[in-house]
Structures are given as structure tokens and as C-alpha cells.
Amino acid sequence: MDIKDYRQEQQDHVVRAKEAGYSHTVPQDIPAKGAADSDARAQAICRLELNSRNLGERIPYLLDLLGRKTETVAVRRAALDMLTTAEFVGGAFLDFRPQVIEAMRALAEDKSPVLRQKALEYLAQENDDYARDILTEALNTPENAPVGQAKAVQLLGLDDHANAADLVRNQFEQLSPAAREEAVHLLGTDPKSVPLLSNLVKDKTVGEKLRRVTAAGLKAIDSERFAQTARDVLADRSDSATFKAAIVGMAQTMSPVHALDTVIDAAQRHTKSKTLKDAARRYFAAPRKPE
């Protein structure tokens, strides 16, 4: 379905919802504002029964709560959670879907970080173009974004239409350390990212944690490129012995066809590190089967 057909379908749903004359009253078991504290009201909202008979009334009520900026974050968060649950309850939700999408889009710019993040998470899973634009922009100008770079990378990965790997790979150098770690998890399934991952494993200017996560992803996606990269790391006398030990540990489950024995033996002979020597000992003691 192209975008014009999609928008027309959304508009048709709105018209049907209005024609159906859906209205809402406050459920009797929800305490009025001021009659109970925020947490008690939020808990009562989360206990609301949703079924195919009452969905047409409950959804407008939840949408009304969600849009009330005078309500507490706890109450609005409860309404948001129940709206996402309602999607799986009955067919009446379909008529309200455009209104839910619009409510979530508005929430993506709310002053509450929690609500912004939850709304964008919902929209990303809906492959929403508005959310996609916001999250993409967050990679470029994080200081003005409704969520941080790391969360933006994570949420883009939920969007099947976002070409997230391409976006993240192209912006990788501009990402924060936390966002880079999220990016590596995403790029670890993308064959086009193998060169970037290999270079990152060898980059001694980044933290060891990121290098380890990257090495694991590289091994999973391209074992031969991992072996080539491992040989470079192990042959580098100036690289960290603890990181080399981690690389040797990853290599322990690889086939001898990757020819790492010589470089691992050389690395352990030229180090005083017990950690690296122990990793090499375990490597040579482990049985390895040809691939």
C-alpha cells in the first residue's frame, strides 16, 4: 500500500469512528482526581477491564486521560499502557487507531521523558514515519531530541521500514559512546557493516567493553573476517593483554581452519599477563571441530 492509500485508509477509520457515535464516561471504579493519590488512580486505571463490548467507550476515555497535561505522569502512563493493551482486545480498536497514532505523536513532544520514550517506542513498532523522522534527527542533533542517541538507535531498530543499519552506520562517528554500543548490537546483523566492525575491534582509542561487544558481533556475522581481525589484534604488541585474552576466548569455539594457533601461541609467549596466558592455555586444551 502506498502512502496515499494508507492516509486515506486512516481518514476512513476516523470517519467511521465519528459516525459510530462513540462516547465515554469515567468508569465508576476510577477515583476522581483529588479523591485519591496519583499512584492509586494509576493502579485503578491499570485494573480496568477491557473487552470487545466496552472497548468503544474505554478507548476514548483513555485517550482523554492521555491528552490531559494537567494529569500526573503516573496516570497518563497508565492510560498509555492500557491503550497499547486495547489493541489486542477487540476489533473496535481499528476505528480508533488513527486517533491513537495522533495521540502518540503528540506525546512524543511531551515534557515528560518517560511518556516521550513510551510514545516513540509504540510508534516505532508501528513503522510510523513521523517517529522515524524524529529518531533519525536525534542521531544528527541529539541536544534537541526528545530521546537520547542511544535510545534513538534502539528504537530505530524496532522500525522495519527505517533502514536502521544504513542510518546508524552513516552516523556512527557522530554517536555517543552509549549510542555506539547500541549501534553495534544493531549492526551485528548487517553484512555491509563488517568493515566498520572490524576496524572498531582494532581501534585502541575506544573502550574495551565496546571492542568486546563488537568482536562478538563480528564473529557471529563473519567468522573469517573475525579471524583476520583477531590476528591483527594478537600481533599488536601495544594492544591490551586483557582484550587479547577476550579475543582468544572467543576464538576457542572456532574451527582450526581459521589458523589462529600460531598467532595465539606467539601472543602468550610474548606477554607476562597471566590472564592472556590462561586464555591461551584454555584455547589449546579445548577440542575444536572442523567447520
pLDDT in tens, the chain (291 residues): 444 554 455 445 444 444 444 445 556 667 666 656 888 989 999 998 888 888 888 999 999 999 999 999 999 999 999 999 998 887 888 889 999 999 999 999 999 999 999 999 999 999 999 999 999 999 989 888 999 999 999 999 998 877 899 999 999 999 999 999 999 999 998 999 999 999 999 999 999 999 999 999 999 999 999 999 999 999 999 999 999 999 999 999 888 778 899 999 999 999 999 999 999 999 999 886 665
> How far apart are the C-alpha atoms of 9 and 57, rounded to whole Å?
22
> How far apart are the C-alpha atoms of 257 and 288, rounded to whole Å?
10
> How far apart are the C-alpha atoms of 68 and 42, rounded to whole Å?
14
Each residue's pLDDT tens digit, 112-151? 999 999 999 999 999 999 999 999 999 989 888 999 999 9
Give the SS3 label for residue 146: coil
- End-to-end CA gap in the chain: 44
In this structure, what DSSP letter does residue 192 have?
A: G
Residue-range domain boundaries for the chain: 7-107, 113-187, 196-291
Give the predicted TM-score (pTM) of the model: 0.79
DSSP-assigned states of every residue in 4-70: HHHHHHHHHHHHHHHHTT------TTSPPBTTB-HHHHHHHHHT----TTTHHHHHHHHHHHHH-TT
Q: Nearest-CA neighbor of 75 among 117, 113, 40?
A: 40
